[in-house]
Amino acid sequence: MSEWKQRVDLPIHPDISAESFQWRYCPPSEDDPEALKADVIRHIVSTLGSDYARKNHYNYYYGLALALRDRLVEQWLTTQRSYYDEETKRVYYLSLEYLPGKSLVNNLICLGLYHAAYRAMADFGLNLEELTEVEWDAGLGNGGLGRLASCYLDSMATLGVPGYGYGIRYDYGMFNQVIENGAQVEKADNWMRTFNPWEFDRGINLVEVKFGGRVKRWVDEKGRMRNEWIPENRVRAMPCDTLVPGYRNRRTINMRLWSARSDREFDLSYFNTGDYVGAVEEKVRDENISKVLYPSEDVIQGKELRLKQQYFFVAASLHDIVRRFKKKNDDFKDFPDKVAIQLNDTHPAVAIPELMRLLVDVELVDWDTAWSVCEKTFAYTNHTILPEALETWPVELFGQVLPRHLEIIYEINRRFLETVEAKYANLSRAELDERKQRLSLIGEGKQKHVRMANLAIVGSHSVNGVAALHTQILKDSVFKDFHELYPDKINNKTNGVTPRRWLRQSNPRLTGLIGETLNSEAFLRDLDLIKEIEPYADDSEFRKRWADVKRANKAHLRDYLERQMGVSINLDSVFDVQVKRIHEYKRQLLNVLHVVTLFNRIIDNPNIDVTPRTVLFGGKAAPGYFMAKRIIRLINAVADVVNSEPRVAGKLEVHFMPNYRVSQAEVVIPATELSEQISMAGMEASGTGNMKFAINGALTIGTLDGATIEMAERIGKENMFLFGNTADEIVTLKREGYNPWAYYEKDLELKRTLDMIAGDFFSRNDPGLFQPLVDSLLSGGDRYCLLADYRSYIETQEQVTTLYRDQDEWTRRSILNTARMGFFSSDRSIAEYARNIWGLQVL
Ligand code: IMP
């Protein structure tokens, strides 16, 4: 231990308890605007070193944020102390991604301070909403998986689950997307450029993480075989805590993100060799580990830095978890009674061999006990069935970065395959070998690779899918062999979203109307209660107020887009929105085919009685994903043609909203009337955007995919626009030989649409630009069956048009959508995880 560390770790005199310090520490008062104002001024002066007389948004945003952080940390200390006092089991959520978005308003709402802050700022002559413009989105994730992790932390805090989020504090999060000449251009997201007022950097609690090197083996004095990892390189992990408050319950948990710090600046030998610049270069290389988020939703494979990122945060987190456990416990057999670790996808699955290493090599626990501890501790959530998205690592690379872990994985595999042999002793040798090959943690083929999903399944007591259909597909196909082997392991936990952010914060008007009608805001804590607005769907006065809220939200979005993009969209049109990552399986292209079809119909028949539509797209494409980027270009090219064609003016417009992110979603979703959830059935694990839209009263046009199926069960199919082939029908279609050409030949509108795209109608100055997109649908075999669903989609869009003319009926259905979405709160999801996976009781 360094001298510095010894000094800061000096024990407090045991007679002095935390309570006895209370007299010195005066917690900030809660809901008093005057106290808040005083704290804001104090922080502007003392923390920022600035002048409160300069009424700029920057000063006052930071002053307010720091005044809130004071209150959060006080709640956090109380919460953490109570966990120690009660010796509760802790839940650790390991996730390579989080998408918290902005924190100011969320924290004000959770602390019950929104109104006080609003008044305080008004007294200063400032508008609270405008202050939020200063804040950057914390975009430390790609899409659904990262935002889910943030919703889950919010729910854990609100339900009183003793949770911790662990991840990486990337210096550069998700890239900023700008559109230049219709194409996506990626700009670095330097979100840490200014000081982050929500974070506590704990520079004295650095954790050492090792990489590379070799394994030393010897027999110790008690005759035990010992394995010691002699690393080639060490990096330090610095914890950065962001506090996550529960909703008005005085509980606060933390998201601990690790930032890489080089070990080398302490290494004086570099000076001795005179290679100072070399030392600095290596230092930079070490710190690169937490430099940037890999910007791809689904397919990232084989990248050494990515493996290092995964191990880096897993090793630091497990160190922290074990340290905390050891404060009150000394027998590792008790570990699973005190610790639950949820793996958000396979990204943190290296935690399994890491815990084995800590237990067997460091704590000298015997293998069987250690393995039993691991199985009981870990649980794994799967998020995708895309085969190319199931993570693997080349064995050679894995062994270079984590030599001891590779040995441990081989040993886990050897023992596991023995149990497989025993279980299937009745099979023929050939059948057994095939089965073992499919189950093995090591895949053969051109290059041997470690299969992270197989490791996660074998090392966990629970494997869950994120919607009923997705879980069924895991059992029936993706993990079929594992399901046969462990019939009780695979279970479903349908995703949810937090109503604090996705209703209260993003849609204050609707929250106000519901709250006033029910005379309570309890639905924000128990979303099931929202069903009590259902009877009001038949009340014409209520319907009018509901419609007024939607129109006000639409106007808000119109103003936002005017500011951001300089376009003014038609308030009297149906706002038809598809915002999500751009991916072929999500079928933004199908939406484009509809737009072009509508365009043709209007041009062909200028007197056609159409319902005006504004079609809005938003979403990022992975920088290396050619087809997704080309789809963005097509959307923009179609938008250019449609929006400049006088014959469709007032009837149809199309826009691509750049840089879709959490804070933009908060503006777009409440204003949406038609939510596009049109992935090929069987592909979208759950989706959570689908839930956010429906909670905010949008009607869904969608396929029977992911959690949309469960939404339909609750909302009623008659209140949605469902279309297309089901997952089973897609399987049959493909088995019988799907031929996209047949659809092309027999459907004239479809043929015309595709011919226009291929024939450069939208790319006059760039011939052939969109040929690859059309090729993927025809000669390329149309992997996601757009052509098979085209006609059904177009006809269902006609139903949308018809219904929209009956505004009263549309509004009635909108109310029913919101009223029946109670199940999709992340509080319900977390309560299920807590009871069924983590072994915790929640109230
Ligand atoms: P950690 O759990 O060690 O990361 O510490 C988090 C917070 O929990 C500390 O800042 C303390 O407020 C509290 N805490 C840590 N150890 C104890 C303990 O032994 N008893 C009560 N509270 C503790």
pLDDT bin (cut points 50, 70, 90) of residue 822 is very high
DSSP 8-state code for residue 497: B
Q: What is the pLDDT of residues 586-599, one digit of tens each?
A: 999 999 999 999 99
| Residue 760: inside a domain | yes
- Give the CATH number of the domain where residue 632 resides: 3.40.50.2000
Identify the sign of the CA torsion 701, 704, 705, 711: positive
Q: Per DSSP, what are the bridge partners of residue 743?
A: none
| Residue 599: inside a domain | yes
The pLDDT assigned to 828 comes to: 98
Q: Which residue has the tokens 């019950």?
A: 112
**Ligand 1 atom showing the smallest separation from residue 323 Cα:** 3
Measured from the CB, is residue 778 less than 6 Å from ligand 1? no
The pLDDT assigned to 157 comes to: 98
The last residue of one of the domains, among 550, 568, 586, is 568
Determine which residue's CA is closest to atom 19 belonging to ligand 1: 84
Determine which residue's CA is closest to atom 7 belonging to ligand 1: 80
Q: How far apart are CA 382 and CA 234, in angstroms?
A: 31
Measured from the CB, is residue 88 less than 6 Å from ligand 1? no
659 & 698 share domain: yes
Q: What is the pLDDT of residues 765-807, one digit of tens each?
A: 999 999 999 999 999 999 999 999 999 999 999 999 999 999 9
Q: How far apart are CA 714 and CA 494, in angstroms?
A: 13
| Residue 327: inside a domain | yes
Measured from the CB, is residue 544 less than 6 Å from ligand 1? no
Measured from the CB, is residue 80 less than 6 Å from ligand 1? yes
Parallel, antiparallel, or unpaired: how do β-strands 652-657 and 613-618 relate? parallel
The pLDDT assigned to 1 comes to: 39
Q: How far, in Å, is the centroid of ligand 1 from the Cα of 84?
A: 7
The last residue of one of the domains, among 526, 545, 568, is 568
Measured from the CB, is residue 115 less than 6 Å from ligand 1? no
255 & 390 share domain: yes
**Ligand 1 atom showing the smallest separation from residue 327 Cα:** 19
| Res. 750: pLDDT tops 50 | yes
Q: How far, in Å, is the centroid of ligand 1 from the Cα of 12?
A: 13
5 & 152 share domain: no
- What is each CA distance from 243 to 68, 455, 641, 649, in whole angstroms? 11, 32, 48, 49
Q: What is the pLDDT of residues 176-233, one digit of tens each?
A: 999 999 999 999 988 887 889 999 999 988 999 999 999 999 999 999 999 999 999 9
305 & 434 share domain: yes
Which of 75, 81, 321 should be mutated for ligand 1, with most atoms under 8 A from CB?
81
The pLDDT assigned to 425 comes to: 95
Q: How far, in Å, is the centroid of ligand 1 from the Cα of 150?
A: 23
29-31-33-36 Cα dihedral, nearest 10 degrees: 40
212, 572, 175, 543: which is closest to 397 by C-alpha? 212
The pLDDT assigned to 730 comes to: 98
The pLDDT assigned to 263 comes to: 78
305 & 439 share domain: yes
512 & 449 share domain: no
pLDDT bin (cut points 50, 70, 90) of residue 286 is confident
Q: What is the pLDDT of residues 625-668, one digit of tens each?
A: 999 999 999 999 999 999 999 999 999 999 999 999 999 999 99
Measured from the CB, is residue 77 less than 6 Å from ligand 1? yes
Measured from the CB, is residue 84 less than 6 Å from ligand 1? yes
Q: Helix axis angle, 540-565 relative to 508-518, nearest 10°?
A: 160
Q: How far, in Å, is the centroid of ligand 1 from the Cα of 831?
A: 25
| Res. 20: pLDDT tops 60 | no
17 & 35 share domain: no
| Residue 96: inside a domain | no
| Res. 52: pLDDT tops 60 | yes
| Residue 3: inside a domain | yes
Three-state SS for 44-71 is HHHCCCCCCCCCCHHHHHHHHHHHHHHH
- Parent domain of 733: 569-817
Which of 19, 76, 78, 80 should be mutated for ligand 1, with most atoms under 8 A from CB?
80
**Ligand 1 atom showing the smallest separation from residue 81 Cα:** 22
Question: Which of 128-142, 264-278, 307-321, 673-687 is least confident?
Answer: 264-278
Q: How far, in Å, is the centroid of ligand 1 from the Cα of 81?
A: 6
Parallel, antiparallel, or unpaired: how do β-strands 199-201 and 207-211 relate? unpaired
Residues 443-469 have a mean pLDDT of 97
Which of 9, 21, 84 should be mutated for ligand 1, with most atoms under 8 A from CB?
84
606 & 653 share domain: yes
Burial label, 120 (beta-carbon count in 10 A; 0-12, 13-18, 19+)? buried
| Residue 502: inside a domain | no
The last residue of one of the domains, among 568, 592, 612, is 568
Determine which residue's CA is closest to atom 3 belonging to ligand 1: 324
Measured from the CB, is residue 81 less than 6 Å from ligand 1? yes
406 & 545 share domain: no
Measured from the CB, is residue 805 less than 6 Å from ligand 1? no
**Ligand 1 atom showing the smallest separation from residue 320 Cα:** 4
3-state secondary structure of 807: helix
Q: What is the pLDDT of residues 121-176, one digit of tens each?
A: 999 999 999 999 999 999 999 999 999 999 999 999 999 999 999 999 999 999 99
| Residue 825: inside a domain | no
Three-state SS for 275-316 is CHHHHHHHHHHHHHHHCECCCCCCCCCCCHHHHHHHHHHHHH
Determine which residue's CA is closest to atom 4 belonging to ligand 1: 324
Q: What is the pLDDT of residues 544-571, one digit of tens each?
A: 999 999 999 999 999 999 999 999 999 9
pLDDT bin (cut points 50, 70, 90) of residue 53 is very high
- Average pLDDT of the chain? 94
375 & 226 share domain: yes
Q: How far, in Å, is the centroid of ligand 1 from the Cα of 256?
A: 14
Q: Residue 141: what residue type? A: G
Determine which residue's CA is closest to atom 15 belonging to ligand 1: 81
Residue pair 747/755 in contact by the 8 Å Cβ criterion: no
Residues 459-484 have a mean pLDDT of 98
Q: How far, in Å, is the centroid of ligand 1 from the Cα of 245?
A: 17
The pLDDT assigned to 388 comes to: 82
9 & 115 share domain: no
| Residue 276: inside a domain | yes
Radius of gyration of the chain (CA): 28
Q: How far, in Å, is the centroid of ligand 1 from the Cα of 17?
A: 12
The pLDDT assigned to 296 comes to: 80
Q: How far, in Å, is the centroid of ligand 1 from the Cα of 77?
A: 8
Residues 703-716 have a mean pLDDT of 98
3-state secondary structure of 2: coil
545 & 610 share domain: no
Q: How far apart are CA 757 and CA 637, in angstroms?
A: 10
**Ligand 1 atom showing the smallest separation from residue 328 Cα:** 19
126-130-133-138 Cα dihedral, nearest 10 degrees: 90
Residues carrying an active site annotation: 383, 580-581, 586, 688, 692
Residue pair 365/332 in contact by the 8 Å Cβ criterion: yes
Domain tally for the chain? Answer: 4
Q: How far, in Å, is the centroid of ligand 1 from the Cα of 326?
A: 12
